[in-house]
Chains A and B, each alone.
Chain A
Amino acid sequence: MRLGSCDAVRADHVLDVEGLFCPIPIARATERMVSVAPGEVLEIRATDPGVIIDVPAWCYSSGHEFLGYYREDPRLRCWVRKSAAGAPSVSGPRRP
């Protein structure tokens, strides 16, 4: 599979949620993040196209960094870097 500009993303952890529907991928990702060290990258493999809407929102709300996604129907992958602080950030400005 060609990954284009995402070739550079090296995942430390892989979460396979293919075939699962919203919001299970996010629930599983939340659980998995517990064992991911700050700064490490989690790769999420999914088939629910809504994942590319929900994962960025999840990252934004919990302080993780959304690194991007790659889609080749019906599969998609996206990458998330765990926030350096290790804990979700709750302060900071509101989204404009």
Chain B
Amino acid sequence: MTERAPIKALAMLSGGLDSSLAVHLIKEQGIEVEAVNFHTGFCLTDAHRALGQTANRHGTPYRNEALRAGAHERVPVRVVDVSRDYLPVVTQPRYGYGSAMNPCIDCRIFMLRRARTLMEEIGARFVFTGEVLGQRPMTQHLRALQLIEREAGLEGLVLRPLSAQLLPPTIPEQEGWVDRARLLDISGRSRRAQMELAERFQIGEYPQPAGGCCSLVDANFARRLRDLYAHRDPAGVLPEEYVMLKLGRHLRLGPGLKIIVGRNEGENRFLELWRGSRWLLSTPDHPGPLSLLDGEPDEEQLLECARIAARYCDGKKEGRVRVLASRREAESRELLVEPRGEYELASRLL
């Protein structure tokens, strides 16, 4: 009797509850699972960590959830950095944006295409995801799911174990690689069914709250990102600059100049660490934030930036505030300025 090679499948694993459950369900059927986790450069957790924060207000540590889930399910996880290739998805999505700057359909197509390549490389027969029918308005309804897998060249080869019984049978089900009867029929935005399963499968550590981890769905982040791309070549934006979009107050002073004002110690530390050759402003006589100038200010702009920095320090009610501007080694200026009034800044705030 010859031994049959085990069937292998590739999981798209974010590490959230749904994809963790999907991995569990497929592994339970005796299928060999490998997982992939794509790094797009727009993950929220990464920014929190870059700022030195360790846990959210629910007490969930800022860790890579895909690796956590992989360790829990004993499934090898490949973390793949796709950030460079991902840029056109964000700047020119064929299928447009969702509520903010989230190109959800193009993003899914992009990821499934990459997954297809990897699937072939590792000898997997199909790809599966934690998608739930009707959970997200843009991508998780039947027509979108079908469009996405067709565009990715994976027609019939994308299994969604949590909703499989509500969807047309896929090739893995038709071929009997997986037992459709043991897959689920979850739909909608409620997470009750998933939480019950988590308890049954002893998945205790899934991230809270749910709701994705993509910065692009955040309206504030999207506004700043649009502004950045309007003034810079997207290809030249560095990873730390994406983190900066998530911190501080941003005020634009001209096409080539923006000031970023820290709001707490973690943000100030980050601005200082990643200042590079930029001007950094501080107020030596008053407790207050650090401000980073992104761009080359002329004299008048440097003064205006100092007034803004003065506005956000504890001396904002003083008539004159001393502001130190420094960059590189040994290049520093001392400015005495009148703090800007709050309403004067409103139009500059991004």
Question: Interface of A with B (CB < 8 Å)?
Answer: 20-24, 26-28, 30, 48-50, 53-54, 56-58, 60-63, 88-95
Question: Interface of B with A (CB < 8 Å)?
Answer: 32-34, 37, 39, 43, 45-46, 49-50, 52, 54, 61-64, 66-68, 70-81, 239-240, 243
Which residue of the partner chain, among A21, A23, A28, A93, contacts B37 with CB atoms under 8 Å?
A23
Task: Tell me how far the C-beta of A48 lies from the nearest C-beta in chain B, rounded to whole angstroms.
Answer: 6
Query: A88: nearest residue on chain B (CB-CB)?
Result: B76
Most buried by B among A20, A21, A27, A56: A21
Known A-B contacts A22-B45, A26-B79, A90-B32; the reply to A54 vs B67 at CB < 8 A is yes
Chain A residues in 8 Å Cβ range of B46? 21-23
Query: B239: nearest residue on chain A (CB-CB)?
Result: A21
A50 near B71 (CB under 8 angstroms)? no
B63 near A53 (CB under 8 angstroms)? yes
A95 near B239 (CB under 8 angstroms)? no
Task: Tell me how far the C-beta of A6 lies from the nearest C-beta in chain B, rounded to whole angstroms.
Answer: 23
A57 near B71 (CB under 8 angstroms)? yes
A90 near B75 (CB under 8 angstroms)? yes
Which residue of the partner chain, among A27, A49, A50, contacts B81 with CB atoms under 8 Å?
A27
Chain A residues in 8 Å Cβ range of B43? 23
Chain A residues in 8 Å Cβ range of B61? 53
Q: Is the interface of B mostly helix, strand, loop or mixed?
A: mixed
Chain B residues in 8 Å Cβ range of A30? 78-80
A23 near B76 (CB under 8 angstroms)? no
Task: Tell me how far the C-beta of B277 lies from the nearest C-beta in chain A, rounded to whole angstroms.
Answer: 16
C-alpha gap A91/B76 in the complex (Å): 10
B72 near A21 (CB under 8 angstroms)? no
Query: A90: nearest residue on chain B (CB-CB)?
Result: B32
B80 near A27 (CB under 8 angstroms)? yes
Which residue of the partner chain, among B32, B39, B52, contacts A27 with CB atoms under 8 Å?
B39
C-alpha gap A42/B71 in the complex (Å): 20
Known A-B contacts A27-B81, A57-B70, A60-B71; the reply to A22 vs B49 at CB < 8 A is yes
Can you list 12 contacts pairing A with B, beta carbon distance less than 8 Å? A21-B46, A27-B81, A50-B62, A53-B64, A54-B63, A54-B64, A56-B71, A57-B63, A90-B33, A90-B76, A94-B72, A94-B74
A57 near B68 (CB under 8 angstroms)? yes
A88 near B73 (CB under 8 angstroms)? no
Which residue of the partner chain, among B52, B64, B240, contacts A26 with CB atoms under 8 Å?
B64
A63 near B76 (CB under 8 angstroms)? yes
Chain B residues in 8 Å Cβ range of A95? 71-72, 74
C-alpha gap A88/B64 in the complex (Å): 19
